[in-house]
Amino acid sequence: MSLFVRNVFLFVVVLFILFSLFLFYKTEQRATLPSQCYTDFLKDIDQENVKEVEMKGHMLQVETPDGRRYETVAPDTAAVLPKIEENGIRLTVKRDYSIFVWITLLFVVSMILGFIAWSAFLKRGEPQVEEREEFGSKKIITFSKDSRVTFDDVAGIAEAKTELEEVISFLKDPSPYHKIGANIPKGVLLQGPPGTGKTLLAKAIAGESGVPFFSISGSDFVETFVGVGASRVRDLFEEAGKNAPCIVFIDEIDAVGASRAGSMSIGGQDERGQTLNALLVEMDGFDSDNTILVLAATNRPDILDPALLRSGRFDRQITILAPDIKGREKIIQVHTKKISLAEGVSLHEVARATPGFTGADIANLVNEAALLAVRDHRQQVVLKDFESARDRIMLGIENKGMVLSDDDRRSLAYHETGHAILAHTLPGADPLQKVTIIPRGRALGQTQQLPLADQHAYSREKLLTRITILMGGRAAEEIIYKTRSTGAQEDLLQATELAIAMVCKWGMAESLPPRAYLRDSGGFLGGPTDKLFSSEDAEKDINREVNQMIEKCYAEALSILQEQKDFMDNMAEILIKNETLDREELDIIFDCTVSKRGKDSGQADSCMV
């Protein structure tokens, strides 16, 4: 509403200014008559040199017999009148509108026009998105009959869409379901990692369902004052009840629905508990004829109160995970519609290069790519832009300000070469994509591998290969410099985490039974794990197995690199010169080694660009 008030106010102000200008113009116009002093006027009367007088308050407009007109101001009109009468001068008296009359008139007219404008605005139909301010004078509910997001904007999560479409068709026409005796699920919970499109999907439903849609964010319920949140919940459901069939969408429901038991703050807990209770009561309250669908989204289902999740409340839970390669390709299609793409850019290739990206990441990627094209003064986005954008997002911006000394660059080149050679040599490793010694974000160098397809289950061998490759950097430094540097910090951390997970979660230790020692409890965001053992022996077993696993991998890395030391020298040299080697360049370099083994080394040198 506030928007209309503002519009009308603006309108009135404009009118006011126009009128003032008009007024000013009028006074100016009257002043165009030449003025003459009062004494001269009296003299004119005495000399019978006045034909006509027009009187307006103290203003006198005088016309002489020879047609001259002038203006004068009389200090006391009562004194002039007898003289005029005596001399038989024609007199007209005009009413004098004082400036106050004008202003009052102006005000009244503006009000009337403003009112007309306002009603015209209101008549233009229901506003499409209306912010209701009824609840504690805070903007909370957006009641949207016409959201501009459609199902077409949501790609790659077909199952979630189908599930929801079914529920919506029920909302629109429950009779076929009622005939068979089926009831609508009361609540649908969308759960999944951040950025996978939960909110987007809800917006699409608002646009496509054709029923009223009330949207509220969980954090809007959370207030310092006890009872405010609960009353908001009641207000919300009362409003929804009046508009049934309708959808109530609670985004980020974890803000209000977090488990009461696990809550930290004592003060906040009371309020949160009350709000949650109100929500539970309301969800139980409406019966199944009263078709209200409660849709909620969260990325922390693990902390939700179990009471929310029991049947009869959010009894349908839809999990949305980061999309697979096909899903990514579809999402990329949706987002690249808005940008101008060069001929022949393979979106499949982009999708392949972005494992683990969520919808939000992809939206960001496409935008970054377009920005890069603009920076290059190009009209169209090419594949290279997507690659650079991906590196920017995943690795951070190229750190051009960071100047490495020649020694550091050399050791960095050996470190990356170590990773690269292992990634090329070990069977089952993902193909190499890029090796670089340009510092980016927090990382100094990078060796990237890209899987050919998304993988959801990994074999023990594949994981061991991964650890061995991670060990490659440290192994190369050890072979060349016979010392240990800090450059391997991130590698060691990843390798250790992987080894621990293999031993404790996936039962992959050689001399331990296939059992689990740890359980994830952090939901989609990773986080804490629970121990599933209590004995100190188990702790020792785990430690021993993790150490063994890493030692073995490290030994293998050392032995492979030792064997290829000459090649490692050559490749490090090329890397120092070129800074970045992409897939084609790497292919050429490695092809040369293959031929090098077959032929004499003199020829192989010509391969080294």
CA pair distance 372, 269, nearest whole angstrom: 48
Q: Is 363 or 502 the residue whose CB approaches ligand ADP more closely?
A: 363
Report d(CA 72, CA 363) in Å as an integer.
76
Q: Give me the residue whose beta carbon is nearest to ligand ADP.
A: 359
Judged by beta carbon, residue 154 or residue 572, the one nearer Mg ion is 154
The distance of closest approach from Cβ of residue 299 to Mg ion in the complex, given in angstroms and rounded to an integer, is 8
Binding-site partner at residue 42 among Zn ion, ligand ADP, Mg ion, none, CB < 5 to 8 Å by type: none
The distance of closest approach from Cβ of residue 131 to Mg ion in the complex, given in angstroms and rounded to an integer, is 19
In the complex, the smallest distance separating the C-beta of residue 556 from Zn ion, rounded to whole angstroms, is: 16
With beta carbons less than 8 A apart as the criterion, state whether 426 and 468 touch: yes
Give the nearer residue to ligand ADP in terms of CB position, either 62 or 160: 160
Question: Is the CB of 271 or the CB of 329 nearer to ligand ADP?
Answer: 329
Long-range contacts of 12-16 (CB under 8 A, 24+ apart): 12/110, 12/111, 12/113, 12/114, 15/109, 15/110, 15/113, 15/114, 16/106, 16/110
- Give catalytic residue positions: 416
Q: Which is nearer to Mg ion, 214 or 567 (CB)?
A: 214
Distance CA 143, CA 371 (A): 35
3-state secondary structure of 403: coil
Minimum CB separation from ligand ADP for residue 147, in Å?
12
The packing angle between helices 536-563 and 460-481, to 10°, is 60
Name the binder of 411 from ligand ADP, Mg ion, Zn ion, none, CB < 5-8 A by kind: none
Of 187 and 323, which has the nearer Cβ to ligand ADP?
A: 323
Size of the site for Zn ion (CB under 5 A): 2
**Side chain identity at 205, as an amino acid letter?**
I
Quick one: DSSP state of residue 184? -
Helices 158-172, 198-208: inter-axial angle, 10-degree rounding: 30
Q: Please report how close the Cβ of residue 335 comes to ligand ADP at its closest, in angstroms.
A: 6
Q: How far apart are CA 191 and CA 174, in angstroms?
A: 26
Q: Among residue numbers 486 through 505, which ones bind Zn ion (CB under 5 A)?
A: 491
Report the interhelical angle of 536-563 vs 406-425 (nearest 10°). 100
- Residue carrying structure tokens 């920005």: 371
Distance (Å, whole) CA 292 – CA 303:
25
CB of 201 to ligand ADP, least distance (A): 7
In the complex, the residues that contact ligand ADP under the rule CB under 6 A are: 153-157, 194-200, 297, 331, 334, 359-360, 363
Closer to Zn ion by Cβ: residue 131 or 398 = 398
Interaction residues for Zn ion, span 445-484 (CB under 5 A): 473
Q: Are 370 and 339 in contact (CB under 8 A)?
A: yes
Which residues, 6+ apart, have CB-to-CB distance to 402 below 8 Å? 439
Nearest to 450 by CA among 544, 582, 579, 316: 582
What, of Mg ion, Zn ion, ligand ADP, none, does residue 446 touch, CB below 5 to 8 Å by kind? none
Q: How far is the CB of 350 from ligand ADP (least distance, A)?
A: 14
Positions that interact with Zn ion (CB under 5 A): 473, 491
